[in-house]
Structure 1
Amino acid sequence: MKNLYLPFLLLLSSLNVCAQDYKGIWTGHLRAEVYDATVLNMQYILHVKDQNQNIINGKAYLYRNNPLKAEGALDFIGVIKGSELNLKELKILYSRIPADTSRFLCIKDLELTLSQDKGVDNLNGTFTGAGENTLPCYPGKAYLQRFNKDNQDDIPPQLLTTLLLDDRDPNVFMQTKLARPIVIEVTNNVIELEIGDYLREDGDIISVFHNRKPFIKNLPIVNKKSIHTLRLNRDTELHELILYAENLGRIPPNTSTLKVFDGTKEHQIQISSSKEVSAVVYLRYNPAQKNPSQ
C-alpha cells in the first residue's frame, strides 16, 4: 500500500503546481540601485486578466507620487513554469511623466518566483528592459503580493477603481477584443510566416502585429501565398502575433490561412478576424537541445 501511496502523493503535488491560479491583482513595487543609490522606486501593480493553463496576459500599472509624480500602464503576456513566471511587457498604453525630466517609462522583462509567507502569495524577482527609444533601463528587483485586505490601502483609490472596472472589460487592441490565443511551439528563432486565402478571394486585408508593434501592414489576402520572415528574440520565450482585420472584404468575416514554419515543423491554422475581434497567436520559443556528441 505504501508503494501506491507515494506515487499518488507525487501526482497530487504535480497537479497542484499546474493548477496554480495567477489571475487577479498583485501589488508591490520596483526598486533599482546603482552603487547603493536608489535610482528607481515605484509602485507596481500586475493585473492578470486571463490565464489559459500556463499562459497569462493582462495589464501592468506603475505609480509614484513623491518626490516626482509619474504613472503609466502597459500590456503584458507571460509563461508559467511551476513556481516561476516569465513576464514580458508589450506596449505602453499611457505614460504621464513630467516633460522637463530625462526619465521615461521602461518596457520590461521580469523573472519572478512564486512563494508563500504567512499564508500570503508573493511574486519576487528581477527585471531588465528598455524604453520605446531603445535606451536601456536600470535593472532592478520586483516585490509583489497578491491583493488582499491588508495591502489594499497601498493602491491609490483612483487606480484601484480603474483596476476594478478594468476587470469587467476584455483585453482590447485597436478597439477590438482579443480572441483566446492559439499557442504554437517553435524551436528556432527564425520563423517563416505564410499567409493566404483559404477560400475564394474576396478582398480581405489584414495587418499583423508582433508584440504590439507593426510587422505587416495592409496585406491583401489572395490565393497566392505571401511569405514573411520573423526573427524572434532568443531571450524571450513568448511572442504575440495579432492579426487585425483592416476590412471585412465582400464576405464577412475576414478569413485567411496562416502557416508557421520554424525550419523543422510546420503549423497551419485558419484565422478569422472581424471589426470586433482580432485573432491572436502566441509563438512559444523553446529551442531544440543539441546532442553533446553532435
Structure 2
Amino acid sequence: MRPQSPLIPLLLLTLSGLCANAEDDPGGIWKGTLTQGPGGCYPNYFLELQITLAGDRITGKAYDYYDKTHYVKMSFTGRYNAQTHRMVLIEDRVLEANIPTDCQPCVKTYDLNYARNGTLEELNGDWKGVYSDKKLVCPPGKIRLRKAALSDFPVDVEQSDTLAGVQAALHLQPREKEVVKTLTVKSSSIKIDLYDNAEIDHDTVTVLVNNKVLLYRRMLTDRPLTVTFNAFANLPYEVVMYADNLGDIPPNTALMMITAGDQKFEVFLSSTETKSAAVRIVYRP
C-alpha cells in the first residue's frame, strides 16, 4: 500500500473545519437574559432577538421584557463576521413600549459571540446604550442567549415605511379565509409571484403576509406581482390574497408561483368580496 501523503490529513482537517463553519447559522430566534447595572429599571430582563442574516448583514427585532405584558420592541441592524463568530447589533428605532411610566427605553448596541456545541447554539456578550431621549447613558450589562424553536412574540415580516403608513390608515373589512394549500419548504428565502389566472380583466389585489400588507391594490396581469421575505424556521407564514374588486369577470382569480431555493410550487387562488384565499408556508431546514 502506498504511504499516505502528510498533506491529505491536513487537507481533510481543513475541509472538516470549513464544513463545520458552514453549519453555523446565527439567524433565527434567540431567547435568554439581559442584565443591567445599578440605576436601571430592573436588574434582570428577558430578551428575545429575531435575527435575519443575509450574507454578513443582519436585520431584526428585539424584545426586552420583564414579563410579556411589559416590554420594549426595537428594530436593529448589524454585521456578522463568520471567521471570528462575532456580531455587532445596533438598535435604531423604538417600535413599541409598554413599560412603567418611570422607566424609559434604552437604545442598545450589542457585542455578541456565536458558539455552537453539537445542537446547542449560544450568543453571549455585552451591551451598552443610551436612553431614548439620548440625554443619559444606560447602565450597561451582559447578555446570554440560546437559539430557540419558537418565539414568545409575533414574528414580523419586513414592511416598507410607505406600506406601514398605508396599513395604519387602512381598514380592511374582515373576511373569511380559505387556506388553499400548506407548503413545507427547505429554504428561508421565499419569493412569491402572482399572475392573472386567465383573461386579464382588471382584478386588483392586496397581499398580506402574517397580517402585514406587502402589496396594496395592485392589478393582476401577465407580468408578475412579486413579494419576497425571509422565513424563520418552524414558524408558519400565511400569505393572504385579499380581493379589492372582482374585475370584469368574477371572482378574482390568480396563479401564485412560490420559489424557495430550488423548490417551485404553483397554487391557483380565488377570492371574493366575502372570502380571501390563503397559502401557509413553513420553512423546515
Query: TM-score by structure 1 length?
Result: 0.48
Query: TM-score by structure 2 length?
Result: 0.49
Decide which structure has the larger Cα Rg and report it: 2
